[in-house]
Amino acid sequence: IKNSRNNKMTSPIKMANITLEWVQTLQRWHLQLFLIPTALVTLATLLTSPVLMACICLSRALRQETRYLLVANTLAADLIFLILNLTKVLCNTLTAEMPWRLCELLTAVTVTTHSCAILTVTLMVADTFAAVRWPLHYRELLPPARTHCILLVVWAVAALYPFSLVIMMEVGRESPPEKMSVCLVLISLGFIEAKNTVGVHIYFFVAATVCILLILYCYIRLYMVTKTHGIWQRRFSRARVTLLAHGVLLLLYFAPGALFTVELYLLKTDGIGQDVHVWINTVNMCIFMLLPRLFAPFLYGMRYREISDTLLQLLHRHRQLSQLHFPPVPCLPKTGHPRRSLTNG
């Protein structure tokens, strides 16, 4: 049964049938309506994230800080992910056929951006730990030039495995690629042979485990270093609120990835109906994957006071420039007889 399932996933004809059945299930349950929250979340993020990125890029002081460079990198990766995700959801809703090579490329870039965002958020925790643990040597350890190199390495590591899979799929394919009725990361990864699918599970499991262990170590060490400073005594202290906000954001980033790993496992398991696969994948891609991208700009804007102050300064400067170009029109005195008051008779 397992071999038949694997052959089903690796045969191009069977894959075309799976995509057709997927589209029929979407239409039967009217899951095209999930395009509405996807479009709204993407629009809201496109209105907020570029503003924060502009504040960081236009401010010389913020560009010299490692934490703000990490924030800008996370927002950039999230924007690319949202645009690609909305493109795929829109094409799937309109049942527009897409060339298989283009779908593979979109899949690789989508996985790359999601992995880059998770790695960058993990580095933000490590950056906070380094700033608290070694305050005197922090700027020497992480100057802006070194931070730029670290971000390039993060993008390279995030892109290495997905694009390697794309190359392996192109080299190992026997039949020419076909146009697919639906383009999904889940189906694209399911097209890989069984031994490579195990590699996908190992990749996601090892990457998530390393990030979670590093985050836990940094938070435990931060608590041990700062517990004598009295910043954890008050119930609603800034440290507690910051930790809570970061914990919620990390949960929102990691939970969809864990659910996607479960999806990959269920895709190879017999006895699971097609409706279950479609519902889980649609809710995960159109709701859960978008939540951290929606909340991240607001959490970063509220947590980092320097970003909000820079934004207010830019708005004030823009208002002054607009007043210089368009001075206010003076009010002309009214003509006619003034009204007589009761005291004047």
What b/e string do you get for 266-276 counting C-beta neighbours within 10 Å, with b at 16 or more? Answer: ebbeeeeeeee
Structural domain total, the chain: 1
Domain assignment present for 331: no
Q: What is the pLDDT of residue 113?
A: 97
The residues with which 179 forms a beta bridge, in sequence order, are 99
In a domain, 299, yes or no: yes
CA atoms within 13 A on the CB side of 288: 18
Higher pLDDT, 342 or 19: 19
Structural tokens at position 7: 């052959």
Summarised one tens digit per residue, pLDDT across range 12-41 is 666 677 788 899 999 999 999 999 999 999
Least confident of 79-83, 159-163, 226-230: 226-230
Instruction: Report the chain's mean pLDDT, rounded to a whole number.
Output: 83
Residues spanned by the domain of 302: 2-312
DSSP string over 35-58: HHHHHHHHHHHHHHHHHHHHHHHH
CB-based burial, 124-134: b 16+ in 10 Å, e otherwise: bbebbbbbeee
- Residue 172, pLDDT score: 67
- Strand, helix or coil for residue 180: strand
pLDDT band at 48 (very low <50, low <70, confident <90, very high): very high
- DSSP-derived 3-state class of residue 86: helix
116, 73 Cβ separation under 8 angstroms = yes
* Domain contains 297: yes
Dist CA 214 CA 129 (whole Å): 11
In tens, the pLDDT along 239-284 reads 777 788 888 889 999 999 889 888 887 877 777 888 999 999 999 9
239 inside domain? yes
| C-alpha to C-alpha distance for 125 and 27, rounded to whole angstroms | 43
Residue 94 sits in a domain whose CATH number is 1.20.1070.10
**196 vs 211, residue with greater confidence:** 211
**Residue 17, domain member (yes or no):** yes
Q: Give 97-156 pLDDT, tens digit per residue.
A: 888 888 889 999 999 999 999 999 999 999 999 998 898 889 898 999 999 999 999 999
Contact 266, 277 (CB under 8 A): yes
d(CA 101, CA 173): 11
Q: How far apart are CA 261 and CA 206, in angstroms?
A: 12
- For the purposes of burial, counting CB atoms within 10 Å of the CB of 216, is it exposed (0-12), middle (13-18) or buried (19 or more)? exposed
pLDDT at 110: 94
pLDDT band at 340 (very low <50, low <70, confident <90, very high): very low
Residue 324 lies in a domain: no
Q: What share of the chain is helix, strand, coil (3-state, %, to 5)?
A: 80, 0, 20
Q: How far apart are the first and last CA of the chain?
A: 105
337 found inside a domain: no
Residue 344 confidence class, pLDDT cut points 50, 70, 90: very low
CA angle, residues 29, 111, 90, in degrees to nearest 5: 35
Q: How far apart are CA 299 and CA 249, in angstroms?
A: 8
Is 322 part of any domain? no
Q: Which pLDDT tens digit goes with each residue over 293-326?
A: 999 998 887 678 888 888 888 787 777 777 666 5
Decide if 165 contacts 192 (C-beta within 8 A). Answer: yes
Region 201-229: mean pLDDT is: 86
> Which pLDDT band holds residue 345 (cuts at 50, 70, 90)?
very low
Q: What percent of the chain has pLDDT over 70?
A: 82
Judged by DSSP in three states, 179 sits in strand
Q: Which two tokens stand for residue 104?
A: 């593979």
CA distance 159 to 321: 43
User: Does residue 329 sit in helix, strand or coil?
Assistant: coil
Specify the pLDDT at position 247. 87
Residue 277: name the closest of 99, 86, 102, 18 by CA.
18
pLDDT on residue 265? 79
Give me the pLDDT at residue 200, please.
74
**Token couple for 21:** 């059945």
